[in-house]
Amino acid sequence: MITTAIATSKTQPMDNTLKLNQFFVENEKKAYVIANMSLKNPDDALDVVQDVMIKFVEKYRKKDFSDWASLFYRMLHNRITDFHRKNTQRKSLFSFFHNEDEENVIDQVVEDNEISILQKLDYQQQIQTLQDTLNSLPTRQLQAFICRIWEGLSVEDTAKSMKCSQGSVKTHLFRALQQIRTQIEFNEESYNG
């Protein structure tokens, strides 16, 4: 995946560099999945995550360790948003280059030999429903869902990451979960009915 080694400098203590390396080891895969879900392109997701990691080291390596998660995910979300803006501009100018090849990252979680064919089909339908629903969520709702549910950040850290109030985080998350539940219930009714 992504390999990042932070070189120690004469002004930076060794223990902070080790903490930074450990932080990236713990968060790089999650960040990649978030970026890939948002960008729907593994190469672009990798570029975004690497760019965020480099800029994070440049700007925040001396910040308090407890603030790193919210700062890192804020940078990631901002970079994804910037990427979407630039990509939208490119698409309007060069719409004939649009690539519809999409990789399903979530399907890689379950190994083929662990479940039966019927269970796998049902699971794939549920995952596809969840993925479609997540893709249809507005950006702020998706950010709140990823930070709170996927990353397990606190409401306070999510608010810092999203640059909004804690009340807004709760509202965005509530709406996201409501949309996800509605879509899953609708698909279960159509599947069973």
DSSP state of 115: S
What pLDDT, in 10s, does the model give residues 117-138? 555 566 677 777 778 888 888 9
What pLDDT, in 10s, does the model give residues 71-101? 898 899 889 888 877 766 555 444 433 344 4
What pLDDT, in 10s, does the model give residues 31-63? 898 888 888 888 988 999 999 999 998 888 888
Pick the CATH number of 114-193 from 3.30.2040.10, 1.10.10.10, 1.10.940.10, 2.160.10.10: 1.10.10.10
Q: How many residues does the chain have?
A: 193
Residues 6+ apart with CB under 8 A from 132: 183
pTM over 0.95: no
Write down the domain spans for the chain: 10-99, 114-193
Token pair in block for residue 126: 């549920």
Query: For a pLDDT cut of 90, what percent of the chain falls above it?
Result: 13
Q: Taking each helix axis from N to C terminus, what angle separates 155-162 and 166-192, rounded to the nearest 10 degrees?
A: 100
What pLDDT, in 10s, does the model give residues 164-190? 999 999 999 999 889 888 887 777 666
State the pLDDT at residue 131.
80
For 4, list phi and psi in degrees, rounded to 5: -130, 125
Pick the CATH number of 10-99 from 1.10.260, 1.10.3470, 1.10.1740, 3.40.109: 1.10.1740
State the pLDDT at residue 168.
93
State the pLDDT at residue 106.
43
Alpha carbons 190 and 188: distance in angstroms, whole number: 5
Say whether pLDDT at 18 is over 70. Answer: yes
What pLDDT, in 10s, does the model give residues 61-71? 888 888 888 88
Q: Which residue has the higher pLDDT, 116 or 23?
A: 23
Q: Tell the burial category of 64 from Cβ atoms under 10 Å away from its Cβ (0-12, 13-18, 19+).
A: exposed
Token pair in block for residue 80: 């994804």
Say whether pLDDT at 9 is over 50. Answer: no
